């Protein structure tokens, strides 16, 4: 486990980051270097170092005192220029620590926080990876590494879709590991919710944030941020998902277009039909829903309330789903219409438990 200094600094810093960053993290292009967040992040480790001096430090009294002086300068800085200067001074003093065989945990953590405050999130990832190698089963370390990766993705405007998908998967794996160790770890739940929200999986985001909400007091700033996130996610759910009427059979689909079709000059009102059929049947679908080209990408719910025949999704454990862009404008398939692949999917019995199946209209 991490030292007392590391736990104290990391926990308070991340809670403040969540509270101050709040819903701003939903936009990954947003800058994260505002002075309020910088001071919040760096002030707590400064206080921790002060409280634990001298027993917690190990690079010599001179080094420790210089570092504490720089942290105090950061705390008292009045202008952005002074703050940036203090951060760079802290960085220049801590970087040589990386060359040590076993740098102390608290210095690695402070350097990572400094990199993040300087908007150098890729450098922060490198440092957090060193900490994660030491503490592969520590949920805080894994979560901080995932957060740094999240912010790195936000700064990489030139990333191609494959790179974005790979980085997103790495972040998901870290958060999954953290939650497998501590299922109620609030910071990991909050970040998982943010990632799900970005991926337009609003139901999953609500589920993560609801679990995180339980861990905070009713009047905390974290609770306020999470409640706003949940409210926003609910507003983006398909209309049926917001109804109080219970759902007994549901299929969740994420319907999108290939990159080529997304850039095509197709009228936004062109209908898109999503349908589910029983195995071996090519006639009337069990369930169907109509949206428009302009709605894509979109999350679509097929339920027993969308039934087209006497039989419904309730009567089947597995069905076959597909989406069709009807260039003809007709519900029946015509030459020239464009379609997704056909997927075999499992019928779920609640929205929360239903996995999302992805349909891409591409031929």
Q: Whole-angstrom Cα distance, residue 179 to residue 154?
A: 23
List the chain domain ranges. Answer: 4-236, 242-361
Structure tokens of 348?
């779920």
Contact partners, residue 31, CB within 8 Å, separation at least 6: 119
| Helical pair 35-52 and 61-76, crossing angle rounded to 10 deg | 150
Nearest-Å Rg of the Cα atoms of the chain is 25
What's the pLDDT score for residue 187?
Answer: 92
Q: Report the topology of domain 4-236.
A: 1.25.40
What's the pLDDT score for residue 328?
Answer: 87
Structure tokens of 294?
């302009």
Contact partners, residue 81, CB within 8 Å, separation at least 6: none
What phi, psi does 70 have (nearest 5°)? -65, -40
Catalogue the long-range contacts made by 143-147 (C-beta closer than 8 Å, 24 or more residues apart). Answer: 143/14, 143/174, 143/175, 143/178, 143/185, 143/187, 143/188, 143/191, 144/10, 144/14, 144/112, 145/174, 146/171, 146/174, 146/175, 146/178, 146/188, 146/191, 147/14, 147/17, 147/191
Q: Whole-angstrom Cα distance, residue 222 to residue 346?
A: 36
Q: Do 30 and 154 touch, CB atoms closer than 8 A?
A: yes
Residues in the chain predicted with pLDDT less than 70, given as ranges, are 1-62, 155-159, 218, 238-247, 281-283
**Is the pTM of the predicted complex or chain greater than 0.85?**
no
201 by DSSP, 3-state: which? coil
> How confident is the model over 84-104, as pLDDT tens digits?
898 998 898 889 888 888 888
Terminal Cα distance for the chain, rounded: 52
Burial letters for 14-40: b for 16+ Cβ neighbours within 10 Å, e otherwise? bbbbbbbbbeebbebeeebbeeebbbb
Assigned architecture for domain 242-361: Sandwich (2.60)
- Under DSSP, the state recorded for 60 is -
Q: Do 296 and 259 touch, CB atoms closer than 8 A?
A: no
């Amino acid at each position: 486990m991490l030292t007392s200094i590391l736990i104290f600094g990391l926990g308070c810093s991340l809670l403040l980051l969540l509270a101050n960053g709040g819903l701003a993290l939903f936009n990954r292009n947003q800058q994260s270097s505002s002075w309020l967040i910088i001071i919040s992040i760096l002030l707590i480790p400064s206080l921790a170092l002060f409280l634990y001096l001298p027993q917690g430090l190990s690079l010599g009294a001179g080094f420790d005192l210089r570092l504490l002086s720089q942290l105090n300068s950061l705390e008292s800085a009045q202008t952005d220029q002074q703050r940036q200067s203090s951060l760079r001074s802290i960085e220049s003093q801590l970087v040589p620590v990386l060359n040590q065989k076993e740098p102390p945990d608290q210095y690695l953590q402070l350097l990572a926080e400094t990199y993040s405050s300087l908007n150098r999130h890729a450098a922060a990832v490198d440092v957090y990876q060193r900490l994660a190698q030491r503490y592969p089963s520590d949920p805080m370390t894994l979560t901080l590494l995932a957060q740094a990766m999240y912010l790195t993705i936000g700064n990489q405007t030139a990333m191609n879709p494959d790179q974005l998908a790979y980085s997103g998967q790495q972040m998901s794996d870290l958060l999954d590991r953290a939650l497998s160790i501590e299922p109620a770890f609030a910071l990991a739940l909050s970040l998982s919710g943010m990632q799900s929200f970005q991926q337009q999986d609003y139901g999953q985001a609500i589920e993560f944030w609801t679990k995180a909400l339980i861990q905070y007091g009713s009047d905390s700033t974290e609770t306020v941020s999470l409640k706003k996130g949940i409210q926003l996610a609910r507003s983006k759910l398909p209309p049926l998902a917001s109804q109080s009427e219970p759902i007994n059979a549901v299929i969740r689909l994420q319907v999108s277009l290939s990159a080529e079709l997304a850039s095509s000059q197709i009228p936004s009102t062109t209908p898109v039909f999503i349908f589910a059929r029983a195995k071996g049947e090519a006639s009337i679908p069990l369930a169907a829903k109509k949206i428009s080209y302009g709605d894509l990408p979109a999350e679509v719910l097929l339920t027993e309330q969308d039934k087209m025949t006497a039989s419904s999704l309730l009567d089947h454990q597995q069905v076959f789903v597909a989406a069709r862009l009807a260039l003809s404008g007709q519900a029946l398939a015509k030459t020239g219409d464009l379609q997704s692949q056909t997927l075999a999917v499992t019928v779920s019995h609640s929205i929360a438990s239903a996995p999302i199946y992805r349909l891409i209209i591409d031929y």
